[in-house]
Structure formats: C-alpha cells, structure tokens
Structure 1
Amino acid sequence: MKKPLSTISTASLWLLCTVTGAAHAETLRIASEGAYPPFNYVDSTNTLHGFDIDIANALCERMKVTCTFVTQDWEGMIPALLAKKYDAIVASMNVTEERKKKISFTNRYYRTPLSVAVANDSGIRDAQTDFKGLTVGAQSYSTQAIYAEERYGAAGATVKLYPSQDEAASNLAAGRLDGVIADKYPLLAWVESAGKDCCKILGDIDGTNTDAAIAVRQEDVALRERLNRALDEIVADGTYKKIASRYFAFDIY
C-alpha cells in the first residue's frame, strides 16, 4: 500500500533531492576535437589523449566529478555546446570577443602566439609580409583563418581553409601550399614530427598572443567559477606544470 505523500518526512525529501542532485552533478560532459596534437588527438580506439585531455581530467579530479569525453568537429563545437550536447569545451579554443558574444570562457590554461610554417627550401623569410601571390592554408572557423584572410588575403595571397589543422599541414607537406598559419605549439609539434626534410617555422607573428581557455554556456556561471577555482589550484600546487612537462620543454602558461 502506497503511503500518502504527507507521511514522508521532510528529512527524507531533502535526502532524496540531495542524492538526485549529487548524482546529476557527478558527471561533466566535455568535448574536444581530437585532431590537434599534442593538445588533443585520438588513438586507434578513438580515445582522446593530449594536453587538453590531461588538464580536463586534472580539473575533474579536483572538482570531484567524473569526466566523460566526446569528439566533435571543430566547425560544430560551439553550436553543439549551445544545444547542450555537452557541458564544456576543452579543445585549445582561443578567447575572442566574437566568441564571447555566444559563450563564456574560464581563465586561460595556456597562451600562444600565431606562427607560420613553410617548406625547408622556401624563399619566404617574413611571416607577415612575404605571401603576396602565394597560397596560405589554415583551419576553418579558427582565429588563424581570420588572421589569414584579413592579413594575407587582403595583401594578395590566396587563402585555403581546411576542416582540421592536420589537413592544412598535410597539404603543406605535399607541396600544395606555400605556408600554413596556426597556433605556435601544435605547429611546432607537427614540424618536429614531419621530419627534418619537410618544413620549418618562420617565427612568431607579432601581436598575436592569445589565451586558450575552457568554453561553457553563458548561463553556466557556477560551472565556470568551479573550473576557475580548480585551475587556480592545479597551477598553485604544481599539477599543471607536471602535466605541461609531458608535452613541452618550455613554459606555455
């Protein structure tokens, strides 16, 4: 026989709500691209790895929640976040004023300038002025693409955009591009992995240092604050430095 609702104690109702709320809060759904080594990439089982993923796991551990990860094409990252397919993006997303009109960002978890890679035998010497009449590649829907179109395209270069940074880099290696513009650290990692006979970095582009941060929905203020507290903690106690040292021999914070 069912008991009337009035016979259930206030304490029992509170406990039920608390348990239900805690269960809901224990999982944080995180998206990453899986095509941006060494920050995020997938193995043969489609499992995500990389600096972004290690940072996300450290934050979840500090927040005492369980991370679940999904891969998402770069173009659909922000729309899927807004559609609540996941709770946060940890994918080396640069903070821009245009993106802040739609989503919110945590404090940075690293900072990077833009750089350009060219073939070893290229006559290009200046990343900012020498691309007139040549072809530059970049990843679509990225800050690099915006820079390439506004700077190189306006100066007479042809700009080709690709779904992923890997595709742009592969086209440079195949000789179909004269240069690729990207954030410095993934571009540096790619040049090193491509072999000594392939390509070289021209250098940082002045004035392009940008923060990379975790993206959340604008209304998720509490989540953003929790992530910021966790970021502060892992930086303060050395966890961040330990993770970064697995991937970089220099400071990226």
Structure 2
Amino acid sequence: MKYEKISLALIMGGLLFSSLSMSARADDGTLTVGTEGDAPQFSMADANGNVTGYDADVANAICKEMKVKCKFVVQSFSTLIPSIDTNRFDVIISGLGITDERKKKIDYSIPYGSAPQYFAVAKGSPIASMTSLAEVLKALDGKSIGVVNGTTYARYIAKNIPTADLKTYDSTTQLTADFAAGRLDAAFGDAPTWADFLKTSDGANFTRVEIKVRSSDDPTTLGQGMGVGLRKGNTELKAKLDKAICALIKDGTMTKVSQTWFSDDYTLSCKL
C-alpha cells in the first residue's frame, strides 16, 4: 500500500516534461509530481495514467492553492528520489517520510501528514495477540518480514530486528502476493495497506497486530511525517509549497482529504 502496469511508453512519453526548473517555467503554470501509483489508499494509477488517492488529492490541493496545474509521473517508489535530479519531475508526493538520510539527497516541504504503521501476520500466529511492541519485535527474531523497498519501514526493521530475514519488494502488490502465498512470517506497512489487503480474499487468513508504530517511536528511521520532496537548493519552490501546505492545514482541507481516504486524521499542525 492495485493497479495495472503502466506502460513504459506512458511513463517516458506523455508524462515526461522538460528539464526546466519550477521558477524557469512559472509561466507554464504546471507542477510535475512524481508518485508511485501502487500504494492504496495513498497513490493509485490505472492503465491510462490517471492517479487517485490521498497523495493525489494532496497534490491537487497544493496545486490549486499555488494556482498551477498538477501533472503526474508514475514510477516505482524506490526510483523516485534518484529521479528527482534528472528533472523528470519537480516534486515527489508519494507518502514520502521525512528522514535525516533522505535530507542528504533532497529537500522537503513542511510535513503534511503522518500514518501509523502495523505488523500483519497469519491469524493463527501467536504474534497476533501480543500487546506490546517489544514483545512483537522479540518474537520476529529470525523470521521473514516483508516490506516495500526504499521505504522507511525497511530501515525500521533492519534497525530494530537486525536478525530478521528482511524481504523487500518493488511494490505493495508484490509484497501482499508473497504474503498471501505464505512465503513470509510477517509484513510491515502502513494502516491503509492492511485495511485494503485484509478486505480481500487473499487477506482473509491474515490479521493486523493491533500495536501502532508511529514515527515518534523511532524518528531516526521512520522520519518526522510525510512531506513533499524536491531538488536541493530550490528555495523558491520550497517556500511556495510550505505556504500552500500551511494554508491547507489551517483551512481544514488536509483533514478532509485524510478523512476521505482513511476515516482518520493524519494531519500535522503547521509549524511555519
């Protein structure tokens, strides 16, 4: 946390924009947004490249506030940050956690939200009924745990369960497919991922461990919430993004978007 595969021609063609900076093409009135497209309820893309979900609504709200048009570029999550310097897009809006490690490569807007994470296991697993995070982490010692590649979740597992057999996947779809096939002892992801998966026939024999893991539990790996990623040094664009996000938080738009997709408020306060 699905969608049909986006063709290479679509990704490389119609959604690809010129390598101008945001300030250089202000008259163009377009903000190009890199997003994953395979992360219900965050970012979902169909075969035609239409993007929906929480982050799509966040992006569209930001673009409306900035009085520009959004244009989406869809590609795998793990390639988003490496692609920002190739000018494929202006910003990343894809549930991107703000971490010190990522700050070495990109700049961020102020955070606009934060989602809780959960472990998921088979219903018959003794881990399913555990009541403390420490107990769960100990029980997963040496077990196979699935995460999406390039996420803060992978770093959390590597740090907190170093003896785990960490399995990484390029998409949530691939992760849940292996999970459903019984190839994993557990999986780790955000709340919407499990809400979506557990409603399916593949998820019928699995359950979410009811212990929330929040970014505040381990900010060095899980970050300080989700923010818009952008190229380093683009102070003009960062200022515009921060102003827009703060306005959307204060007028309740971000809360409305979060409630629409998660029936919960993931919004953080504006710190400008």
Aligned residue in 1 for 2:213? 205
Conserved 8 A contact 1:128-1:205:
no
- Counterparts in 2 of 1:30-45, with a 5 A limit? 30-45=33-48
Deviation string, structure 1 residues 87-108 (Cα, Å, up to 9, x no partner): 0000001011010011111111
Identify unmatched segments of 5+ residues in structure 2. Answer: 1-23, 268-272
**TM-score normalised by the chain length of structure 1:** 0.84
Conserved 8 A contact 2:40-2:192:
no
Identify unmatched segments of 5+ residues in structure 1. Answer: 1-19
Conserved 8 A contact 2:33-2:90:
yes
Aligned CA distance change for structure 1 residues 106 and 242 (closer, same or farther; 3 Å): same
Aligned residue in 2 for 1:181? 188
Distance 1:80 1:172 in 2: 29
Aligned residue in 1 for 2:172? 165
Distance 1:52 1:231 in 2: 13
Aligned CA distance change for structure 1 residues 103 and 92 (closer, same or farther; 3 Å): same
SS in 2 for 1:177: coil
SS in 2 for 1:230: helix
Distance 1:243 1:133 in 2: 39
Distance 1:97 1:187 in 2: 27
Aligned residue in 2 for 1:228? 242
Pick aligned residue for 1:122 from 125, 136, 156:
125
Aligned residue in 2 for 1:249? 263
In the TM superposition, what is the alpha-carbon distance from 1:196 to its structure 2 partner?
6.7
Distance 1:164 1:200 in 2: 20
Aligned residue in 2 for 1:147? 156
SS in 2 for 1:28: strand
Deviation string, structure 1 residues 167-186 (Cα, Å, up to 9, x no partner): 11221111110100113333
- Counterparts in 2 of 1:9-48, with a 5 A limit? 22-24=26-28, 26-48=29-51
1:88 aligns with 2:91: yes
Aligned CA distance change for structure 1 residues 55 and 21 (closer, same or farther; 3 Å): closer
Distance 2:98 2:107 in 1: 9
In the TM superposition, what is the alpha-carbon distance from 1:127 to its structure 2 partner?
2.9
Letter paired with 1:205: V
Letter paired with 1:183: D
1:218 aligns with 2:232: yes
Aligned residue in 2 for 1:52? 55
Return the index of the structure with the highest Cα Rg: 1
1:68 aligns with 2:89: no
Distance 2:62 2:139 in 1: 42
Pick aligned residue for 1:239 from 237, 253, 256:
253
Distance 2:226 2:180 in 1: 27
Over aligned residues, Cα RMSD in angstroms? 1.9
Distance 2:136 2:192 in 1: 16
Q: What is the count of residue pairs matched by the alignment?
A: 231
Deviation string, structure 1 residues 84-140 (Cα, Å, up to 9, x no partner): 111000000101101001111111111123321111121223432211232111111
SS in 2 for 1:91: coil
Aligned CA distance change for structure 1 residues 171 and 22 (closer, same or farther; 3 Å): closer
Conserved 8 A contact 1:40-1:91:
yes
Aligned CA distance change for structure 1 residues 160 and 21 (closer, same or farther; 3 Å): closer
Conserved 8 A contact 2:145-2:166:
yes
- Identical counterparts, % of pairs: 29
Letter paired with 1:106: S
In the TM superposition, what is the alpha-carbon distance from 1:188 to its structure 2 partner?
3.3
Aligned residue in 2 for 1:7? none
Letter paired with 2:164: A
Distance 1:193 1:226 in 2: 40
